[in-house]
Structure 1
Amino acid sequence: MRALVIALLLAFAAPAVAADYSAAIADSHRPAADTARDAARKPADMLEFIGLKPGMKVMDLIPGSGYFTRLFAAAVGPKGHVYAYQPTEFDGFLKDKEPAVNAVAKEYPNVTVVRASVNALTVPDKLNVIWTSQNYHDLKNGGGSDTAQVNKAAFAALKHGGLYIVLDHAAAPGSGARDTNTLHRIDPATVKAEVMAAGFVYIGDSAALANPADDHTKAVFDPAIRGHTDQFVLKFKKP
């Protein structure tokens, strides 16, 4: 009995072992254009912050070229699934081309591209995670997207205990949504308030992509700051 008690105490006292995402990052399907961005985008930190596990169901909301879609697909494995949600409200950015993420789905059997209204945000499965990267601010920039409705739809699409994670370029404190169309930035406090208004509980953030040297006055495409903007990563939970 004494030995059992000691073993239990040691087990509870032992530090948690971080998940190893090296295989997902080293996945051979990742193109050179993606791996070249790893130093700036810190995929290991992001995957650990999310806490992805094999078998999870994830949405990559507004996936762009599929940088994170590929990582998620490798991390959740064949028993998991990734929905790359390409909003029709963003079709203007495509300039009559098919979404770049379509090519990702051809390489990963566990990736499905969904092209539909972002305000509906529905997929066949209840999700463990909804992730959106560097695009929340664009929901403010026309096209018919409604941020409040998107957040409510995200809440409905998640399982209880599911996570909603928003990564974006930081704007100056107190600026709200003023700079979403000019500098392509948004005040993290505004994002936090909007997401919590949909019923989510804020549970933490990551400073892995923070850059104190960014004074928040330049557009994110400015060569002086591009790829090195001050970025926030907020984590919310559906109760």
Structure 2
Amino acid sequence: MKKTITNIVLTVGLTLAWQSLASEPDPRQKLSELALSNARSAEHISRNQYRNPADTLHFFGLKPDMAVLEVWPGRGWYTEILAPYLKEQGHFTIAQFRQDDGTFKDERAKFWARLSAALSEKISEQEDYFGTVHQIELEPPYFQPELAPEQFDMVLSFRNAHIWDENGHLLATLQSLYDLIKPGGVLGLVEHRAATLSDTTSVAVEGYLDEAYVIAAAEQVGFQLAARSEINANLLDTKDHPKGVYTLPPTLALGNYDREMYLAIGESDRMTLKFIKPEVQP
């Protein structure tokens, strides 16, 4: 009799546990809904197929109660998803491009400054949607204002590392990010991936970086590679385009020349890397 009762109790307990797990929503559901939000432009939504935001952020381990820093959000493609996702329970900061104080001579820096100004205005105008978004600036490798160390659970960078590397700031910027992340915290990095020729060589035309090189740089400053994913891979990308990665959408640097061909390829092949800052520092 006791054995029968025990079996019944175990069966009921397991059934309730299973029902509880089955009823829990997929953590990607909310992210998927935000990726398709009416607050986003049709142009931004059209890029979901290449950037896979819900799966990418789930892979990095994003939770709604985290303190998150997004680096160089540009037009705010990911900000439109991250800000509303974190606004109730989390703490969200974006590190914008440096504002143009009138001394900029580089046209690219001026363009970036305009992007940041436009995003700031958008966030201000749509406060109900975005919530509180803290804004700072990153002039690689330094943040302005200077931030206290170990305050973020997660730092996210989407297609920025090639610019840091181009300007000789990759290692120093990764070190700055490392210092800001709590022990056990995550660096989520997506980057255009160069063509691999062998285990030791690759071809990196403009805008692309070798995956092994990026991993080695992150490990050099103290990060540990936790996982890598092919979520954002694109086998159609031959990585030998006349203007490098900028030949492909969304930039389409060649204008109407072979436009349909490059649109058919889609956005670049990308590495998706999850790094952890060790709990115990060396």
TM bin (shorter chain): 0.7 to 0.9
SS in 1 for 2:164: helix
**CA deviation vs aligned residue, 1:115-138 (integer Å, no higher than 9, x gap):** 243313454671111111111111
Matching residue of 2:66 = 56
Structure 2 residue runs of 5 or longer lacking an equivalent are 1-5, 248-258
Matches of 2:41 and 2:66 in 1, distance apart? 24
Structure showing the higher helix proportion among its residues: 2
Q: Within the alignment, does 1:95 sit opposite 2:110 as a pair? A: yes
Partner of 2:255: none
Q: TM-score, normalization: structure 2?
A: 0.72
Which of 137, 157, 177 is 2:180 aligned to?
157
Q: Is the 8 A contact 1:175 1:186 kept in 2?
A: no
TM-superposed CA distance for 1:78, in Å, is 2.5
- Residue 197 of structure 1 is matched in structure 2 by 220
Aligned mates of 1:33, 1:61 — CA distance in 2:
22
Deviation of residue 23 (structure 1)? 3.1
TM-score computed with the length of structure 1 as normaliser: 0.83
Deviates more, 1:107-116 or 1:96-105: 96-105
| 2:84–2:131 CA contact under 8 A, matched in 1 | no
- After superposition, residues 26-45 of structure 1 pair within 5 angstroms as 26-45=36-55
d(CA) in 2 for partners of 1:200, 1:24: 30
Paired with 2:136 and 2:38, the residues of 1 have a C-alpha distance of: 24
Larger Rg computed on CA atoms: 2
Aligned residue pairs total 233
Query: Matches of 2:136 and 2:92 in 1, distance apart?
Result: 10
Distance (Å, rounded) in 2 between the aligned partners of 1:129 and 1:71: 15
Give 2:26's aligned residue. Answer: 18
1:36/1:103 Cα in 2 relative to 1: closer, same or farther (>3 Å)? farther
Quick one: which of 103, 111, 123 aligns to 1:105?
123
For the structure 1 residues 153 and 232, does the alpha-carbon distance in structure 2 shift closer, same or farther, using more than 3 Å as the test? same
> 1:183: which partner in 2?
206
Match of 2:154 among 100, 110, 129: 129
Amino acid aligned to 1:211: N
Q: Counterparts of 1:32 and 1:103 in 2: how far apart (Å)? A: 19
Structure 1: which 5+ runs fail to align? none
Q: Give me the identity figure in percent.
A: 24
CA contact (8 A) 2:72 2:138 kept: no
Q: Closer, same or farther in 2 for the Cα pair 1:36/1:24, shift >3 Å?
A: same
Q: 1:194 deviation in Å?
A: 0.4
Given the alignment, which residue of 218, 243, 246 partners 1:221?
246
Tell me if the contact between 2:32 and 2:53 (Cα under 8 Å) persists in the aligned partners.
Answer: no
Conserved in 2, the CA contact under 8 Å of 1:214 and 1:225? no
